[in-house]
């Protein structure tokens, strides 16, 4: 039967059609269905159809392309025909004849997404075979977390368009929680596996160590929090005093730091009273002091504005090492 619809090639008027969105047919959830660029295309098409109330044309076309009837149109473009309030789906050859732009960019995105999907399938299989499936779970969870944060931020910005926002508005802004250092390292290893398709024995062994540390992290954090709470319970705040005071305590760390007067050697001291002080290592003991040593000196001290159990010492004098670190 000869076609008599207004979308047939012989009578179609390109100027009557407005491009809406691209799509790619073989895109199941396990393939490209989760690709963000495809999701955006489909979201744009759904929004457009909701706005117009239009539906796809029901004319006989005999194939996937509503113009030429091709059955091989796995890449497609949707157009809106305002005169009939109908949509048509075309292959990219027919879309090009309707003066559609962005075709090459869309095909490149599909190619990249297919390569990424293939890389992910291979990476998942390699990790499962190596007994490292938890690394893949971490990788997928991170992707989902980043998408959820992006969606929440986009929604928040849409609901708060005014650039002048009060503190209450800012407090409601979605907050990003950065993964731990071990998680970031593990994610980087998996990302490289997805990209290159292989992982060395050394990297796999290190990844296993990272996963073990990540699994134990909550327990370690809880133990550290309990230890800190106990430490603070037995500690005294940094005294609020004028002038110099005697300080005696253990050196917890030593670090070189660049300041106004050049490179300076700093140390963190835990005083016998439990509070901690940060300041420059006295010249008298700079050659012999080490982490773990017990030192004594006189200095001016100042409590931190943020933590009453932490402060700073300055102008130290009469310094000596009471107990050196055992060799």
Confidence check: pLDDT of 326 > 80: no
pLDDT of residue 325: 61
- Quick one: average pLDDT of 129-142? 96
pLDDT of residue 327: 45
Confidence check: pLDDT of 227 > 70: yes
pLDDT of residue 185: 97
pLDDT of residue 318: 95
Q: Average per-residue pLDDT in the chain?
A: 90
Place of tokens 């396990």: 30
In this structure, how many other beta carbons lie within 10 angstroms of the beta carbon of residue 109? Answer: 19
The DSSP string of 29-95 is TTTTTT-HHHHHHHHHHHHHHHHH--EE-----SSSSTTT--S---EEEEEEETTTTEEEEE-HHHH
Sequence-ordered list of residues with C-beta below 8 angstroms from that of 154, at least 6 positions apart, any chain: none
> Taking the model in full, what pTM does it have?
0.59
pLDDT of residue 245: 95
């Amino acid at each position: 039967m000869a076609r008599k619809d207004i979308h047939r090639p012989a009578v179609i008027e390109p100027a009557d059609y407005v491009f809406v969105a691209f799509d790619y047919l073989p895109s199941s959830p396990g393939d490209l269905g989760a690709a963000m660029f495809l999701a955006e295309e489909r979201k744009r098409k759904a929004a457009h159809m909701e706005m117009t109330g239009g539906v796809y044309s029901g004319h006989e076309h005999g194939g996937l392309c509503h113009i030429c009837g091709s059955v091989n149109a796995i890449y497609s473009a949707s157009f809106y025909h305002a005169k009939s309030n109908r949509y048509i789906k075309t292959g990219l050859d027919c879309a090009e004849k309707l003066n559609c732009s962005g075709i090459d960019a869309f095909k490149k995105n599909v190619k990249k997404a297919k390569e990424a999907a293939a890389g992910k399938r291979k990476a998942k299989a390699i990790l499962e075979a190596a007994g490292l499936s938890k690394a893949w779970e971490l990788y997928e969870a991170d992707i989902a977390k980043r998408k959820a944060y992006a969606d929440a931020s986009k929604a928040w910005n849409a609901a708060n368009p005014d650039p002048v926002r009060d503190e209450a508005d800012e407090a409601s802004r979605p907050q990003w929680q950065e993964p731990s250092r071990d998680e970031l390292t593990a994610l980087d290893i998996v990302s490289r596996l997805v990209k290159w398709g292989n992982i060395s024995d050394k990297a796999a062994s290190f990844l296993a160590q990272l996963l073990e540390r990540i699994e134990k992290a909550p327990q370690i954090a809880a133990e550290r929090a309990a230890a800190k709470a106990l430490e603070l319970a037995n500690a005294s705040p940094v005294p609020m005093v004028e002038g110099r005071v005697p300080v005696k305590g253990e050196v917890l760390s030593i670090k070189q730091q660049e300041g106004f007067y050049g490179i300076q050697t700093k140390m963190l001291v835990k005083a016998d009273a439990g509070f901690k002080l940060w300041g420059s290592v006295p010249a008298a003991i700079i050659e012999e002091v080490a982490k773990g040593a017990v030192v004594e000196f006189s200095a001016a001290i100042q409590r931190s504005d943020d933590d009453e159990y932490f402060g700073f010492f300055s102008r130290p004098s009469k310094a000596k090492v009471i107990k050196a670190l055992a060799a």
